[in-house]
Amino acid sequence: MKRIIFHIDQNCYFASVEMISRPELRDVPMAVAGDAKVRHGIILAKNEAAKKYGVKTAEAIWQARAKCPDLVLVDAHYEKYAFFSQKLREMYSEYTDRVEPFGLDECWLDMTDSVSDYAEAEATALEIRNRVTDEYKLTCSVGISFNKVFAKLGSDYKKPDATTVFSDTDWKEKIWPLPVSDLLFVGKHTAEKLYKINIKTIGDLAAADNGYITSYLGKAGVSLWEYANGLDDSPVAESGYKRVPKSIGNSTTTAEDMTSDRQIERTLHMLSESVARRLRKHGLKGTVVQITVRDRDLGIYEKQRILYRPVDDAGEIFNAARELFRESYDWNKGVRSIGVRCTKLVESDSGEQMSIFSEVQSRQRDDKLNKAIDDINRRYGDGFIKSAAEADVASKPDRDLKTYKDPIHPEGDFN
């Protein structure tokens, strides 16, 4: 028997969690939105009532209000979303030991050893949906198929609170007529490129010459062609499995444009502190430092530098980031947002070669200090001990650095 894979997607997740404590919002158009005061004014999630007005995720608040003047906006509470996400995964683990998260609100489940056929799978999906509603007052959609890509397609196919089955016998007539943009990892840019060569449906992609698609789209074309032909065989990870991140970074959009080196340096200090702590938390070091800068006109560029040794120290990350900025930005325009990222990560204990004994001693001393600070902050809470840069910002905040609600964890990047 082929595998039986579930993909469970919580419906309007952020908005649904907010409505648990505020049931009066269930019947009025509402949305969870970013903070417009610090220029994060976009819709993060909306409920079904708002969706009927055409409100869309990721559009600006003013655009949403133009469609729905009575739209109720609610602040995001990420700790709530993480809490319910963990509880839902614990529930799914009662059915299988293979539960792989895909963001806070989505999971794949390998149900091959838990159900005997698609009929039992559909009955189990209904049981899970009912439990999600009864126990947490949330709703979810479930896709069932023989691979992860088609299971994900199934959960998106019919919403809210529905089950869709794409079995190994009828998937072609159901899936191939769908728009190619519905396929996992076919984003807007890729879809536009495929439209240019008259590939508009998943079936069109499946029927295309594999070699041509590969030459046209590069390595991604190989995977997408295989997905369209039902050839995805990627496993569902075991419960509790955590992927090793390929990169770790943080970025922030300031309340007003930054217009001086001092403002940039203080922001880079804060971001470097956050990146360094996350690196140490994962037991990793970075060998490449990258900055991303967006100016006031939303122009964007990235610069990166290879380091001669792996690092997890905020000072070294900051120095590299500052040099990259100084070398590449000419201050014709103010800076709206900036990000720092470490890539090409290696295990912290992978070893490194040093030729200067005093440098070894210095690095060892810094490592011990960072470990001691991390241990204290872990015990007493993040920010119990702050770096000089963090303390400086906290005591004498610049007018245009008030974006930091939590200086240790500014706006982050999901990897």
- The residues assigned a catalytic role are 106
The number of residues in the chain equals 415
Instruction: Let me know: does 261 contact 46? Beta carbons within 8 Å.
Output: no
Report the chain's terminal Cα–Cα distance, integer Å. Answer: 34
Inter-residue contact 201 to 191 (CB < 8 Å): no
CA-CA-CA-CA torsion sign (185, 13, 255, 66) = positive
CA distances to 106, 174, 201, 318, 410 from 170, in Å:
25, 7, 17, 55, 47
- Two structure tokens written together for 302: 């990235």
Residues facing 23 on adjacent strands: none
In the block, tokens 């964007």 appear at 300
253 membership: H or E segment, kind and range: strand 247-258
3-state secondary structure of 303: strand
